[in-house]
Amino acid sequence: MTEYNRMAKGSFTSTGAAKYINLPFVPDYVELINYTASAAFTDARVLSAQWDVNMGQGFAITQVRDTTYKSDSVITNGISTFSAGLALQYGTAQQVVASTGGATTCSFQVTAHGYAVGDVVVFEGLYSTQYTAGMPQMCNIPFRVTTVTDANNFVVTWASNGSNYTNLAASPSGATVKKVLYPFLYAPGVSVINAVTVGSTTTVGTTAPHNFVVGQEVAIRMPDRWIPSGTNGYNSLPNASLPGSPIYGYVVSVTNSTTVVININSSSFGAFSTNVAVANVPGLSPPQIIAVGDVNTGGVAISSGSALYPPPSVNGVNTINGPAIQGAFVTNTSAGFIIGAGTCVTATTAVLVGANTNVIYWRAFAHDISIT
């Protein structure tokens, strides 16, 4: 039967890390071919693989070149499916062993963290001395992992060597980090600011991908604690009693996924600083940049030469939404499957998702009937 079957196919270049494939459905069968490994036909390579939902999450049957061509299997970190909900979902909380602050970054030691560059993580309880010292200024903020130093260390972007920061050591109680499994339920969403460059235009850095596009209307929320001296003119509602004239800006350029330039003249504003006292952290709101507008969905204009129904893109991945007027937010219903970086049972160095630069072709199906 095919009336309600759903099928999709595609390809990607592997980085060696787990690969999320976004689809407008949750598949019950997935197959893949590692074109690069198949063409080279060298040892310790997964050439192709299949997964059926009845195998269970994280499994796969593989065809492997390992001295000889043979069948094998992956039983951990194989192929699995996902479907994001209406609220954020998190991975397992992991103990923070230590941290090292820097002028623009902060490095964290977390044993066997399993994170990859691009993952979004959230910290909790970053105190070296409860409520008086540590790095609680970074808590409850989504951070993009910018560097994975090794299996036990990773880096995020945040100025963390100021006088109000104390490095963590010896696995302080309650200091944890967890991965945000599907961080972009809505886009552009609300982004936390980690840097500001003042001038005739204002350059804003964010802790996680902002998903802004050129021409987007934005506003800034900047509590006074983040501007220790000088005028704080960033706030979109400068007069809380008479908020009838909000200050909005427009995105004039997008430097990268975490840096954006807006047309607000900040030449006379005070300097932004993350060096907030620990005593001021309870109840403190983070600095934020948000999209504003009258349309609660988003889209890409249809014009000559464009795709007929171009979906909005969230963090470089197309959503399943149809076209609409470019507006404040896109609902990013997130579903699909994951090709993990698990290894085969007997060919223990053969990685399912392939090695860095390997070209992978895949097909996914959701069948309208299943007979067991």
Domain with residue 154: its CATH number is 2.40.30.20
Which of 230, 260, 291 corresponds to the end of one domain? Answer: 291
Q: Are residues 72 and 101 in the same domain?
A: no
Residue 89 domain-assigned?
no
Are 261 and 309 a contacting pair, CB within 8 Å?
no
- How far apart are alpha carbons 163 and 8 in whole angstroms? 53
Q: What is the CATH number of the domain that holds 279?
A: 2.40.30.180
- How far apart are alpha carbons 220 and 247 in whole angstroms? 8
**Among 211, 222, 288, residue whose Cα is nearest residue 251:** 211
CA distances from 217 to 31, 170, 213, 238, 272 (A): 42, 45, 9, 17, 22
Confidence of residue 205 (pLDDT cuts 50, 70, 90): very high
What average pLDDT score do residues 169-175 get? 97
**pTM for this predicted structure:** 0.79
Residue 48 domain-assigned?
yes
- The pLDDT value recorded for residue 297 is 42
Are 273 and 103 a contacting pair, CB within 8 Å?
no
The number of folded domains in the chain is 3
Confidence of residue 243 (pLDDT cuts 50, 70, 90): low
Is the pLDDT reported for residue 292 higher than 90?
A: no
- How far apart are alpha carbons 304 and 327 in whole angstroms? 21
* Selected residue with higher pLDDT from 297 and 360: 360
Residue with the two structure tokens 């609220």: 87
- The pLDDT value recorded for residue 188 is 83
Are 161 and 142 a contacting pair, CB within 8 Å?
no
Which two structure tokens, joined as six digits, stand for 30? 């997935």
Q: Using one digit for the tens of pLDDT, what is the confidence trace for 125-137?
A: 999 998 999 999 9
Q: Are residues 283 and 197 in the same domain?
A: yes
Percent of the chain with pLDDT over 70: 89
Residue 185 domain-assigned?
no
* Selected residue with higher pLDDT from 332 and 284: 284
Domain that holds residue 233: 190-291
Q: Are residues 71 and 116 in the same domain?
A: no
